[in-house]
Amino acid sequence: MKLIVYCTCPDKGVAETIAEMLVERRLAACVNILPQVQSIYRWQGQIEHDDEILLLIKSDVAHFESLREAIMAQHPYDLPEIIGVPVAAGHPEYLTWITNELTKP
């Protein structure tokens, strides 16, 4: 099953580093970097407002745990957002491309 994995980052540098690492290791076929999303959340009892960068990571269930561990090793947050959402449908050739990019040597 294919996944879109959401991950927020504090800045463009961190986002690019994580995105490139995931593609290089074939844990992601593609990563989109969406600039400046505003996040509002409760952290340690306080309401926080932060500008962040959002990664949309194209991967699959088989690679999720390795992908999660790789992000955790590089991410500066104590508790990074790493949420995998199943892809219910998609352009068949694109979904095949994802599989091929994750499985090539």
Residue 73's pLDDT band (boundaries 50, 70, 90)? very high
Q: Does the structure show a pLDDT above 90 at 69?
A: yes
* Residue 6 amino acid letter: Y
Task: Output the pLDDT for position 19.
Answer: 98
Asked if residues 39 and 49 have their Cβ atoms less than 8 Å apart, the reply is yes
Q: Does the structure show a pLDDT above 90 at 18?
A: yes
Largest CA distance in the chain: 46
Q: What are phi and psi of 94, to 5 degrees?
A: -70, -45
Q: Does the structure show a pLDDT above 80 at 27?
A: yes
Q: Where on the phi/psi map is residue 36: left (φ > 0), alpha (ψ -120 to 50), or beta?
A: left
pTM metric for this prediction:
0.95
Cα(13)–Cα(1) distance, rounded to whole angstroms? 30
Task: Output the pLDDT for position 105.
Answer: 76
